[in-house]
Amino acid sequence: MEQRGIRTDKGDYNRQVESINMEIKQTKARIRKVKNWLYAQPLTNAPSLVDIMGRIADGKNLKSNWQRVRNLQTTAKILSFLTKHDISSVENFSDTVVRINERLKTVTDDINKAERQLETLATHLDHADNHKAHKAVYQKYKRLTPKADHAELNSLNPFTKNKATKDYEAATQQQNAYYEKHAEEIQAYLAAKQHFDAVMNGRKYLPIKDWKKEQRDLIAKRYALCDEYYSIKEETSSLEAIRRSIESLICDDVLREQHARTQVMVVR
């Protein structure tokens, strides 16, 4: 259906999965960037949290009331983040970045596991629907299979052989015509039969109710995991804001040291 330009629930779901997987990839890269930057910094004489919050709240070069309000909202959000994670030093902040990175990895691994299982269950249920819906069509197709009477087909009597041959060809044409009319249903049934022959290990009973219950449970679990992911994504903005503040303070320290050295040289 999707190939014909018609949107389907499965196609919409696949697009949603692709979208969130892209978001997850970007969020992982953002956290990894913060973590790698922190690991490259010497933590001796690191800025205090008071200095960091002061730099965040400073909001230099804000040219409109809207920007000032937004900066206040950002400051409040980051203060809430620091309180939630009990961060009182840059070392604590570094540990928090590592924990959030590990939590993101766990959550995204669980999302991927749930998606793989949901895909498997969707395949089972699709084949189960086709197996049930097209079974009667397939059975009729099989009943139309020509019955070859080899004795008459190989008879030395030309009249008997000719009649048997015509009957066989007519039955073959009838079955072929039926197949052409119902090819899609027959192929769907055969694909379902082949699928279940491969996965059911000889069991004839299809646990459709169990599959549907597991599917509902996994969908609920996936929604909960996605909510947790979006919470981590929101926290990533706070991580980046704190990193920018630390970077700004370190740059200021470097500039002050350079200025002090310059002043000493001038005095001499």
At 186-215, the pLDDT tens digits run 999 999 999 999 999 888 899 999 999 999
> H or E stretch including 154?
none
Please report which confidence band the pLDDT of residue 218 belongs to, taking 50, 70 and 90 as the band edges: very high
Whole-angstrom Cα distance, residue 76 to residue 172? 79
11-20, 42-51, 119-128, 225-234: least confident range: 42-51
Measured on CA atoms in the order 203, 206, 209, 215, is the torsion positive or negative? positive
pLDDT at 21 over 70: yes
Which of 12-26, 38-52, 194-208 has the largest mean confidence?
194-208
Model confidence pLDDT, tens digit, residues 97-153: 999 999 999 999 999 999 999 999 999 999 999 999 999 999 999 999 988 777 776
Residue 267 pLDDT: 44
Residue 215 pLDDT: 95
- Mean pLDDT estimate for the chain: 81
Please report which confidence band the pLDDT of residue 6 belongs to, taking 50, 70 and 90 as the band edges: low
State mean pLDDT over 230-247: 87
Model confidence pLDDT, tens digit, residues 71-88: 556 677 888 888 888 887
> DSSP class of residue 2?
G
Return the amino acid letter for 19.
Answer: S
pLDDT: which is higher, 252 or 49: 49
pLDDT at 37 over 70: yes
Residue 11 near residue 2 (C-beta atoms within 8 A):
yes
What would the two tokens of residue 56 be? 């965040």
Q: What is the number of other CB atoms lying within 10 angstroms of the CB of residue 26?
A: 12
Residue 98 pLDDT: 93
State mean pLDDT over 14-29: 88
Residue 68 pLDDT: 42
